[in-house]
Amino acid sequence: MTRSLFRGNPRLLIAAAPWVLVVLVVKLVIEVTDAHLFQLSPLLAGAIGAEVFILGFLLNGTAGDFKEAEKLPGEVAAALETIADECLITDKEFHLPEARTALQQLVEISRSVRGWLVHDRGLDDVLTDIRALNEPYRVFAPVIQAGFTTRLKTEQSNIRKTVLRMDTMRRTSYVAAGYLIAEVTAVLLMFVLVVTELGAEDSHEFKEVVTQLVLVGLISYLLIYLVSLIRDLDNPFEYQDGQPGAADVNLEVLERNEDRLRALLASLETPAPAPAPAAPVPTEGVAEPQP
């Protein structure tokens, strides 16, 4: 039950905790010294609601892009698997060595795409690896049917478009001006919560101070976490230090795809077993033909 309720990467929760602790320490100092600047106003609830509305708008937009980004590694893997099928058919029917060359290049493409996403370098190398399929295709074209050649070129184009789409997602921010207003208002709102007397006037009982600290900490945690989550969702292919973050796309499908392609390549490179020699036909007991 614990695994079902508390799933996910806790990196953002842990990263937000120090900032919330700073807010609580400042709030505690103000409560102890009675250095409040504002009195509680009904407009504070409206300000919190407006901030939540802005964060919800940004979260909805970035979540939509993230859902699209989750499909892209699978689309690359599917295109590579389709091209691998054509290479296997070509090798079996026409015994072209270029079929093995193309399959080996597919392994390199899968490896380079995953390495580029994890380490954020080598996009030109990825595009070069995709273009390297042109040479095996040039040999395939006169031998296989025209429809198969068109299919191979279409899948190659799909891989290239998907890679460029992932690069665009990494380098394009969703409504940067919206991020600015959300972050500025979140900081101002936490400042107002800290310097506002949230309880009754001239009341500094221990229970009331604890209640204010809990409420300010909860609202601050929510604001800081949501802003961090939206920033993380905006780049679903970030992978800081080569490790997936709290809101990064899982690349396991590419890893499994590379393993399958390597297994196919190994099966093609393994020579077929030689046929067993025919057993000699026994001659004993066979009548000789009469002259």
Take residue 280 and report the two structure tokens written for it: 């000699």
Which of 25-39, 68-82, 99-113, 262-276 is predicted with the least confidence, judged by mean pLDDT?
A: 262-276
pLDDT band for position 270 (50/70/90)? low
pLDDT of residue 277 exceeding 60, the answer is no
Q: Which residue has the tokens 């990825």?
A: 126
Q: What is the mean pLDDT of residues 179-207?
A: 82
Which helix (DSSP H) or strand (DSSP E) does residue 197 occupy?
A: strand 196-197
At residue 269, the pLDDT reads 66
Q: What is the mean pLDDT of residues 151-174?
A: 92
At residue 286, the pLDDT reads 47
Phi, psi of 216 (to 5 degrees): -65, -40
Q: Which residues 6+ apart lie within 8 Å of 248 measured at CB?
A: 232, 236, 237, 238, 239
Take residue 246 and report the two structure tokens written for it: 């709290």
At residue 201, the pLDDT reads 57
pLDDT band for position 282 (50/70/90)? low
pLDDT band for position 120 (50/70/90)? confident
pLDDT band for position 211 (50/70/90)? confident
Give me the chain's average pLDDT, please.
85
At residue 38, the pLDDT reads 86
Between these two residues, 173 and 154, which has the higher pLDDT value?
Answer: 154
Indicate the pTM of the whole model. Answer: 0.79
Q: What percent of the chain has pLDDT over 70?
A: 87
pLDDT of residue 169 exceeding 80, the answer is yes
At residue 272, the pLDDT reads 46
CA distance 75 to 159: 8
pLDDT of residue 1 exceeding 60, the answer is no
The long-range contacts involving 100-106, CB below 8 angstroms and separated by at least 24 positions, are: 100/265, 100/268, 100/269, 101/135, 101/136, 102/133, 102/136, 102/137, 102/140, 103/261, 103/264, 103/265, 103/268, 104/265, 105/129, 105/132, 105/133, 105/136, 106/80, 106/133, 106/261
199: helix, strand or coil: coil
Between these two residues, 157 and 41, which has the higher pLDDT value?
Answer: 157
pLDDT of residue 287 exceeding 60, the answer is no
At residue 102, the pLDDT reads 94
